[in-house]
Amino acid sequence: MSEKQIVLITGASSGFGALTARAVADDGDVVYAGMRHTDGRNAPQVQAAADYATEHGVDLRAIELDVNSQESVDAAVARVLAEHGRIDVLIHNAGHMVVGPAEAFTPEQLAELYDINVLSTQRVNRAVLPGMRVRGAGLVVWVSSSSVKGGTPPYLAPYFAAKAGMDSLAVSYAAELARWGVETSIVVPGSFTRGTNHFAHSGKPADAEVEAAYETRYAGLMDQVAQKLAALAPADADASLVSDEIARIVALPPGQRPYRVHVDPADDGSQEVSEVADRVRREFLARVDLSDLLTVERPRSHPRAIELFVEATNAGDTEAFVSAFAPDARLDDWGRVFTGHDGIRAWNRTDNIGVQAHFDLLDVRAESAPGTYVATLRVSGDGYNGTGPMRFRLRDGVIAELRIG
């Protein structure tokens, strides 16, 4: 793609995340590598990302992003938007694994794991998706797991359940974002015992007594599973296979990104089952007359906020018109200044819908400042008639400032 994309990835301090951040940056995009504790535990990873950017001449930036904190998520997204005005690609990679007999984990531990692997994506989505929907374009990549539909050895139940929840959320989001022009790609890695810290950093059960009881019947089970998984994978099965595939998808033109791909050298059966499940999904959506949700609408050529400004005016819809503006918006009409939603309503009443204005959007041109556009409109109605520019500054998908004249 000719224009640099703005990419945000979660859980990018190590493993798939760190590798993906570098692979996507290598393709020329601007990559924000989200990680927590950037001033503490992950300070070496921040430096490593900066060193990589310098050595390879790429735009890779570590950013403080704790997916378990809405405040942290919102701050990270706000920083990206302030610096670039948009996020083109969101990669959900953050996650955590635990190993041990399911009974030995407390309900609180399962809730914590669900929070990290599932609820975290919802926090980030609610911060990023409004901007994508307004622009009518974007890509959300979900890093799932072959355990969702493939072979599932014991002692990994809490992790498998959480990843299944994340995958199900991704499937529903794919349909719900299709009419907004936002694409979904679900990347399904198999078990990789090299290049990731999944097993090394995995959590343990809180109930040591129950864990010990299971050890009397299942002694050494996790070592056996790990050894067998390593033996099933080809010698060249490295985690970079996953990051390279994600980078390939990100680089594809809109409309050509796959819905689901598998990167599973051990071949645990996930792809075979997924093909059946995805076929059933397609057939069911067709049965309920929702086949259009299987394809994504073409990206909009203009920012949605500007389109809404025009559409609401032409429809005489005051509420929709006001909703296109930020609550603290500023409108300058040849030196007459109106602020906030009350001010926007006043201008709309005296100079826009109130005088039956009609807009023809002739052109929209992005300026160098992030989120700033100059639109050329032909205006007709009972007030001003003529053609001229309007300068829009967008913030979080709505109009923060409008200058006329």
Active-site annotation, residues? 159
What lies within 8 Å, CB to CB, of 95 at 6+ separation is 11, 116, 117, 143, 162, 163, 166
What's the token pair of residue 87? 């996020």
Please state, in angstroms and as integers, the Cα–Cα distance from residue 317 to each residue in 27, 133, 245, 366, following that order: 44, 20, 45, 27
267: alpha, beta or left, given left = phi > 0 and alpha = psi -120 to 50? left
- CA-based angle 303:305:308, to the nearest 5? 115
Q: Answer whether 310's CB lies under 8 Å from 361's CB.
A: yes
- Beta carbons of 174 and 125 less than 8 angstroms apart: no
Q: Tell me how many degrees the CA angle 397-400-401 measures, rounded to the nearest 5.
A: 135
Q: Tell me how crowded residue 229 is: count the other CB atoms within 10 A of its CB.
A: 18
**CB within 8 Å of 325: residues ≥ 6 apart:** 331, 341, 344, 398, 399, 400, 402
**What is the torsional sign of CA 45, 51, 56, 57?**
positive
Find, among 52, 54, 50, 18, the residue nearest to 33 by Cα. Answer: 18
